[in-house]
Amino acid sequence: MAMNASESRRYADIVGPDIGDVISEESIIVLPVGAVEQHGPHLPMSVDDVIATETTTEVVRRFGGDLDLWQLPSLSISKSNEHAWSSGTLWYSAETMMSILHDIGRSISTTRAERLVLLNGHGGNTTLLNTALRELRLAYGLKTFLVHPSLPPAYGGSSTEDELGMGIHGGLNETSVFMHLRPNLVDLSRAERKVPEALAENEHVKFGGSVAFGWLSNDFDDAGYIGDPTGANAERGAELFNHAVERIGEQMAEIREFNFGR
């Protein structure tokens, strides 16, 4: 027997004429936002897309029926120009990315859904996506939200003490999660420690510090990844993944009830 849209919770599986009956004011539309960009020699370019998509899929599987979650097709390419130096990285400009988000928001606004969640797997999108929340709110009246499987250390999230808070790209945790999701695509024999130790001595100008700074991923090392993936393992990744899913489930429950305190 074929799976229907209510079972898959995939927005694209809804039959067009049924959209008005299936999607209601209580529905939460979830857009996974990934990236296709270099992650050093030990990981493929698909890391952020896989993590965003698999996290969304599992959140929707566990909580979709109770919270009326609907998963959009992933936005697999995004704003990755901090990796533009690396041949093969796919990226949209900030202008293109914002235009795409506007078009998606406009399309969702033709349904009865009031809530759109961006589930972001790529730290380099964070600033732009935060801006997009207000733009989409203003343009289309949607209640808009941004969640992460793991808040990027550059934006206030945590990293391991051994990585000095700078495991921001291809480091221990990200590599571990990917080993859990796609173990056959990880080659730890090519991994080394790549932590910009000197930055940790700064009080303000550092990842997560009080002074933001522009950077490209090869500013710190030609390898293009930042962290220490050498101790990564799938067991750690499974724990991190499941914790992220449970936390996002809690966030979705609050998002469902959110109404600006009115």
- The CATH number given to whatever domain includes residue 213 is 3.40.50.10310
> How is the beta sheet containing 69-71 ordered, strand by strand?
69-71, 28-33, 115-120, 143-147
Tell me how many degrees the CA angle 114-115-116 measures, rounded to the nearest 5.
Answer: 130
Q: How many domains does the chain fold into?
A: 1
Give residue-wise pLDDT tens across range 35-76: 999 999 999 999 999 999 999 999 999 999 999 999 999 999
Residue 167 maps to a domain: yes
Both structure tokens of 103: 């078009």
Query: Could you tell me where the DSSP H helices lie in the chain?
Result: 5-8, 19-22, 47-67, 94-108, 126-140, 172-181, 234-257
Structural domain span for residue 132: 19-254
Burial classification of residue 219, based on how many CB atoms lie within 10 Å of its CB (0-12 exposed, 13-18 middle, 19 or more buried): middle
- Whether residue 2 is predicted with pLDDT greater than 70 in this model: the reply is no
Give residue-wise pLDDT tens across range 213-228: 999 999 999 999 999 9
Residue 6 maps to a domain: no
C-alpha 23/C-alpha 113 separation (Å) is 6
Name 33's bridge partners. 75, 120
Average pLDDT of the segment spanning 232-259: 97
Residue 262 maps to a domain: no
Say what the pTM is: 0.95
Residue 10 maps to a domain: no
